[in-house]
Amino acid sequence: MPILQWLNRDESIAAAGKAVYRILEDDPSLSYGDDSPNLLVHGDNLEALKALLPYYAGQVKCIYIDPPYNTRSAFEHYDDNLEHSTWLQMMYPRLELLRDLLREDGSIWVSIDDNEAHYLKVLMDEVFGRKNFVVDIAWQKRTSPANDAKYFSNDYDDLLVYTKSKSSWQLNRLERTEAQDSYYKNPDNDHRGPWNSITYTGNKTKTERPNLYYGIVNPNTGKVVYPPDTLTWRYGEETHAHNVKNNLLYWGKSGQSNVPRLKMFLRDAENVVPRSMWMASDTGSSQQSMTEQKILFPNPFGTPKPELLLSRILHIATNPGDLVLDSFLGSGTTAAVAHKMGRRWIGVEIGDHAVTHCVPRLQKVVDGEQGGISKAVNWQGGGGFRFARLGDTVFDELGQINPAIRFPALAAHVWFSETGEPYRGKADSALLGVHDGTAYYLLYNGILGDKRPAGGNVLTTKVLAELPAYDGPKVIFGEASRIGAPRMAELGISFRQTPYDIKSR
């Protein structure tokens, strides 16, 4: 598969692996509402995504990001003027970490414009796999032309959609609209209600499909008719007989047509397959999003997306209770919409507007604000969110465990680095859990009840006796072991020395 080459590509590819693990430190003063799984993280999104891995790897159903477009124009809240290779260097490791956070049946949606869309497509082909590309949606962001444009009025943004595993992903169709239902009429007063019709002819010739070329009778005239222009009927004779018996053929207002049409009833109509062109009338525009911002903030965010756009994405890609992630949160639109739609969410934002825009906006959402999609989804308020900042690194520059790290943070890191699974335990026991038949233990800073900093960190016969029992292979992390190798082999124990045997990156 072709790949992109750019300055410092090798460094870009290694960046995700070299990023340090940091702990997430809650800030109760900026958290709001009820205890909640929703999380707003203030910090660099590369380090934040790395910090989220031990807890959320493979758990996110939908990722939406609206990264800088690299348009070579400065915005108030962030610098979008990045040299092309620097932009690619920024995006690659973040896409890698986002892929690792995505569920097997999850999807990622990336807003971009034509400054970088084609390069991003190739980049995402490499990270997510070309076979997992779904669609490039054109979103109409502008409803009137930009007459001050030098060449063309740029009226749409791209929205690239990929899955983690396309064979595992299923989308939700869009609900039918009144306009779509209005095409269904009932000119013959059919007792089954309104219907629309589709063509009864196929797209093959009688030479290609002779079994679909036969005469049918118009019951109003008694005339035998054949498909026009040497084409075929869409259905075989057995199916045609079924259609006739069930009064599914329509021969026109006069009943004299030589080619019938097939009735399709509104009562049987399915929800609508999403199209790849999204009009502003259905999903909002940049102007509409600015109007939403002015209601929310005295100092609006520079490049927001409308809540309608995000609601369509989340409708297609998620169900209530699913986890949504936006690591370029901006003013908080993704989190606000996810909250109103009953999805769990994680938002990451490096700028000061994490506090000046995201926090107050999401507080208003919890309190029941009625802007954006609120009335459409009958939002009445509720829930809450945690606010967190990136704290200390789990390991220092020499690879030693940071003495400030407490047991729960190291437990999550050890579990994830060993199993590749997010940690869901309570971190109240030396036994972290059992994975694929192996039990994992961590001896660290008083977990066995010894309050001394180093208490219980060394594996001895006494410490082993105090560990929660497990009849099977065991991996035990500790500072040292005083049990001989033959005895440990007999007990099915693999000892790992901290910090040396813990992956620090």
Assign 172 a pLDDT band (cuts: 50, 70, 90).
very high
Using the structure block, give the residue that is written with the tokens 């969110």.
385
Do residues 90 and 44 lie in contact, with contact meaning Cβ atoms separated by under 8 Å?
no
Q: What's the rounded Cα separation, in Å, for the pair 256 and 477? A: 85
pLDDT 10s digits, 480-499? 999 999 999 999 999 999 88
Q: Is 180 exposed, middle or buried (0-12, 13-18, 19+ CB in 10 A)?
A: middle
Q: Which pLDDT score, from 0 to 100, does residue 453 have?
A: 46
Do residues 255 and 223 lie in contact, with contact meaning Cβ atoms separated by under 8 Å?
no
Q: Which two three-digit tokens encode residue 196?
A: 């629309």
- pLDDT surpasses 90 at 124: yes
Do residues 205 and 230 lie in contact, with contact meaning Cβ atoms separated by under 8 Å?
yes
Q: From 329, 351, 393, select the one nearest 21 (Cα to Cα).
A: 393
Please list, in sequence order, all residues whose beta carbon lies within 8 angstroms of the beta carbon of residue 214, skipping any fewer than 6 positions away.
226, 233, 237
- pLDDT surpasses 60 at 74: no
Q: Which pLDDT score, from 0 to 100, does residue 77 have?
A: 60
**73 torsion bin: left (phi>0), alpha (psi -120 to 50), beta (else):** beta
pLDDT 10s digits, 22-61? 989 999 999 999 989 999 999 999 999 999 999 999 999 9
Please list, in sequence order, all residues whose beta carbon lies within 8 angstroms of the beta carbon of residue 387, skipping any fewer than 6 positions away.
26, 27, 29, 30, 31, 32, 40, 42, 359
Q: From 505, 233, 263, 270, select the one nearest 396 (Cα to Cα).
A: 505
Q: From 131, 138, 129, select the one nearest 159 (Cα to Cα).
A: 138
Average pLDDT, the chain: 91
Q: From 37, 109, 74, select the one nearest 315 (Cα to Cα).
A: 109
Percent of the residues in the chain that have a pLDDT greater than 70, as a whole number: 96
In this structure, which amino acid lies at residue 159?
Answer: L
State whether residue 345 is helix, strand or coil: strand
Q: What's the rounded Cα separation, in Å, for the pair 379 and 243? A: 45
Long-range contact set of residues 252-260: C-beta below 8 Å, sequence gap at least 24: 253/187, 255/218, 255/220, 255/221, 256/218, 256/220, 256/221, 257/218, 258/218, 258/223, 258/225, 258/228, 259/200, 259/201, 259/225, 259/227, 259/228, 260/200, 260/216, 260/218
pLDDT 10s digits, 242-272? 999 999 999 999 999 999 999 999 999 999 9
- pLDDT surpasses 70 at 131: yes
Question: How many other C-beta atoms are found inside a 10 Å radius of the C-beta of residue 47?
Answer: 19
